[in-house]
Structure 1
Amino acid sequence: MTYYLRKLGFYVVALWAALTLNFFLPRWMPGDPVDLMIAKLAAKGPVSPEIRHSLELLLGTDSSRPIFLQYVDYLNNVAHGDLGVSVTYFPQTVSTTLADTLPWTIALMGIATIISFAIGILLGQLAGWKRGSWLDNLIPVTTMFQAVPYFWLALVLLYLLSSVAQIFPTGGGYDVNTVVPGFNLPFLRSAVYYGTLPALTIVLSSIAGWMLGMRNMMVSTLSEDYIVTAEAKGLTRRRIMTTYAARNAVLPSLAGFAITLGFVVSGSIITEQVFSYPGIGMTLMSAVQNSDYALMQGVFLVITISVLGANLLVDLLYAVIDPRTRARA
């Protein structure tokens, strides 16, 4: 129990530190969202000081209040789920904007990351178990995709499979002309079709890392004494490979997977830019371009929670997979 309480306490402090940094970073950046809104309103007529003050209150950047009080208000609003109003999508709230875009990113990046991890671990396990096989010799070829710049690989696949072969669409999240967004079969089928090429790019560029890491850990684990003991007891090779070797070899990859899964949200920017995918990455780019403090803070908050949550989950899972972790703590 002490192990779990220490972990929870650490992540609570980390969340508070991240929220504090999340509050101050946008305010240290050049540009003012209030000035941006006033510039838009000025095109329709004169803007009074009262209107400016109202906008400052609305966007949470009231210069008449001390920065400490703004910080306290920010923490209170976050605790109540109020992330403010977006300048970019005014008068839409940040929470609504994130609710509209976050599912797209989670569906694309999350599923693709899980698929690449599962396939990479499985192939790496087999390659490490059968050293010198054709699968083991295939690893240098797969690392080529990881070495290629991600955006370049995305552009190549987009050109070959969309422009030349015309197998997949060139961009978008679904067919806006024929389907209506919602939980229905035509929309889901269209979303899967439009997301296949971006997901394929993610899998090809990341599967080699998981495969190589798992292969090397399997080779190292197979030389341990408990593997020799298991073989001497007459256990089946399949049980030795999965229960003894792979279970211990996967631990470092599991920690890396937690970090990767946590950065699913932030890692989608390039993907969504190349494929014009309507996810949170595109939203973040729009927020930065428009000095949208509230929206930037909302996106950073989602990234923070996803990273900390994924790491906490794996720390707890570590304690289940390897009980020695609790003993050392």
Structure 2
Amino acid sequence: MKYFARKVGFFLATLWAVVTLNFIIPRLQPGDPAEIMVRRLAGKDNALDPAQVRAMRAMLGTPDGSLWEQYTAYLRDLVHGDFGLSYTYYPFPVSEVIGQAIWWTVVLVVVTQVLAFAIGITLGTFAAWRRNTRVDSVITLGSTFLGTLQPFWIALLLLYVFGYTLGILPTSGGYEAATPGFNGPFIQEALTHSLLPALSLLIVAPVGWVLGMRNTMIMNLGEDYIRLGKAKGLPERRIALRYAARNALLPSVTGFALALGSVLGGAILVETVFDYPGLGRLMGEAVGAKDYPLLQTLMLLTTVGVLLANLVADLLYGVLDPRARRSES
């Protein structure tokens, strides 16, 4: 019980630090969002009118007062679930803007992460069990080569081949003419538009799981209980899966939880290449427009998601491996 209480306490302390940093960091960036919007409306070559800038600040509801007053107001609004209005998508509230984009990212990144984890763990297990063979060399060298590639570059390549050259897949957006909702045409269009972004992420995503699982399992294969299982004549399949792979999987649980927790950050570069209507594209737009309310909320979602995933992984690790609880005691 002490182990779990300790982990929850660390989570709450870290959450407070994250909320505070999330308030401070956007305000350290140079520039005024009101001036950016006025210049965008008036044109780059026209001089800024101070009256227009003041009116824009009042319209956007940009924070004023001392930094402490802004901080206390920020915490109060956060508790009430009020994230403010988006400067980029004014007059829509931030919660509505994110609510429309979050499911695109969740579906895209969660599916690719789950598939990447399953593929990587399977290939890593097989490579470790067949270590120093041709199969192991192909899997290891192939994973190492793919690990040097960037999803952004792969996205551009897939876009050029399947989008512009062959013309068999859409090049941008999340759907075309279908009415959004749980209906056949919309689901079909959404799946078609998500193929290239998902493939861009899926080509590289399993690499870390392959190499990590292989190395961890090789260390487990040298343990005494593996030699005992072989001496007792247990089938190789049982030794590989129920003994070596099961114990080697434990470190990957934390990594997988953190990978799922970072889903809310989106895939900024990939979503930007395909103009995919997810959280990653919103993050890029918020940074460029100094949209503090939207930027703060996206950063908060990402960090809280990672913290929650880390907490779940720690608690799950304590359940799967009792040695972790004993070491804390």
Residue of structure 1 in register with 2:46 after alignment? none
Matched, 1:116 2:116: yes
Determine the C-alpha separation between the residues in 1 that align with 2:132 and 2:24: 54
Residue of structure 1 in register with 2:173 after alignment? 172
Determine the C-alpha separation between the residues in 2 that align with 1:52 and 1:90: 11
After TM superposition, give the deviation of residue 225 of structure 1 in Å.
Answer: 0.8
Determine the C-alpha separation between the residues in 1 that align with 2:261 and 2:36: 32
AA of the residue aligned to 2:69 = L
Give deviations 1:231-287, integer Å, cap 9, x for gaps: 333433222212211111122222222232222233510110111111111111111
Matched, 1:303 2:299: no
List runs of 5+ in structure 1 lacking aligned partners: none
- Write out aligned runs for 1:97-112 (5 A): 97-112=97-112
After TM superposition, give the deviation of residue 46 of structure 1 in Å.
Answer: 8.9
Determine the C-alpha separation between the residues in 1 that align with 2:39 and 2:259: 40
Residue of structure 1 in register with 2:222 after alignment? 223
Residue of structure 2 in register with 1:207 after alignment? 206
Judged with a 3 Å threshold, the aligned counterparts in structure 2 of structure 1 residues 102 and 267 are, in CA distance, closer, same or farther, namely closer
After TM superposition, give the deviation of residue 149 of structure 1 in Å.
Answer: 2.5
Matched, 1:15 2:19: no
Determine the C-alpha separation between the residues in 1 that align with 2:145 and 2:19: 39
Give deviations 1:143-163, integer Å, cap 9, x for gaps: 212212321111112212222
Q: Residue 94 of structure 2 contacts residue 293 of structure 2 at CA under 8 Å; is this kept in 1?
A: yes
Give deviations 1:52-83, integer Å, cap 9, x for gaps: 67346x23x11xx2211210111111111111
Q: Residue 121 of structure 2 contacts residue 213 of structure 2 at CA under 8 Å; is this kept in 1?
A: yes
List runs of 5+ in structure 2 lacking aligned partners: 44-48
The count of residues paired between Structure 1 and Structure 2 equals 322
Answer with 33-42 or 307-316: which moved more: 33-42
Determine the C-alpha separation between the residues in 1 that align with 2:90 and 2:207: 43
Determine the C-alpha separation between the residues in 1 that align with 2:52 and 2:215: 67
AA of the residue aligned to 2:13 = V
Give deviations 1:12-38, integer Å, cap 9, x for gaps: 111110110000111111112233455
After TM superposition, give the deviation of residue 137 of structure 1 in Å.
Answer: 2.1
AA of the residue aligned to 2:169 = F
AA of the residue aligned to 1:320 = V
RMSD: 2.2
Answer with 99-108 or 225-234: which moved more: 225-234
After TM superposition, give the deviation of residue 39 of structure 1 in Å.
Answer: 5.2
Determine the C-alpha separation between the residues in 1 that align with 2:107 and 2:216: 30
Determine the C-alpha separation between the residues in 1 that align with 2:28 and 2:236: 59
Judged with a 3 Å threshold, the aligned counterparts in structure 2 of structure 1 residues 226 and 83 are, in CA distance, closer, same or farther, namely same
TM-score (norm 2): 0.91
Answer with 245-254 or 33-42: which moved more: 33-42
Answer with 313-322 or 235-244: which moved more: 235-244
3-state SS in 1 of match to 2:215: helix
Identity of aligned residues (%): 45
After TM superposition, give the deviation of residue 133 of structure 1 in Å.
Answer: 4.0
AA of the residue aligned to 1:11 = F
Q: Residue 265 of structure 2 contacts residue 301 of structure 2 at CA under 8 Å; is this kept in 1?
A: no
Q: Residue 85 of structure 1 contacts residue 294 of structure 1 at CA under 8 Å; is this kept in 2?
A: yes
3-state SS in 1 of match to 2:181: coil
Residue of structure 2 in register with 1:54 after alignment? 58
3-state SS in 1 of match to 2:172: coil
Residue of structure 1 in register with 2:135 after alignment? 135
Determine the C-alpha separation between the residues in 2 that align with 1:13 and 1:29: 26
3-state SS in 1 of match to 2:249: helix
Q: Residue 34 of structure 1 contacts residue 55 of structure 1 at CA under 8 Å; is this kept in 2?
A: no
Q: Residue 84 of structure 2 contacts residue 93 of structure 2 at CA under 8 Å; is this kept in 1?
A: yes
After TM superposition, give the deviation of residue 168 of structure 1 in Å.
Answer: 1.7
Residue of structure 2 in register with 1:239 after alignment? 238
Judged with a 3 Å threshold, the aligned counterparts in structure 2 of structure 1 residues 72 and 115 are, in CA distance, closer, same or farther, namely same
Determine the C-alpha separation between the residues in 2 that align with 1:317 and 1:275: 36
Q: Residue 261 of structure 2 contacts residue 305 of structure 2 at CA under 8 Å; is this kept in 1?
A: yes
Determine the C-alpha separation between the residues in 1 that align with 2:19 and 2:121: 34
Determine the C-alpha separation between the residues in 2 that align with 1:8 and 1:130: 41
Give deviations 1:117-168, integer Å, cap 9, x for gaps: 1111011111111224443122212321221232111111221222223332
AA of the residue aligned to 2:237 = R
3-state SS in 1 of match to 2:179: coil
After TM superposition, give the deviation of residue 209 of structure 1 in Å.
Answer: 2.0
After TM superposition, give the deviation of residue 48 of structure 1 in Å.
Answer: 7.4
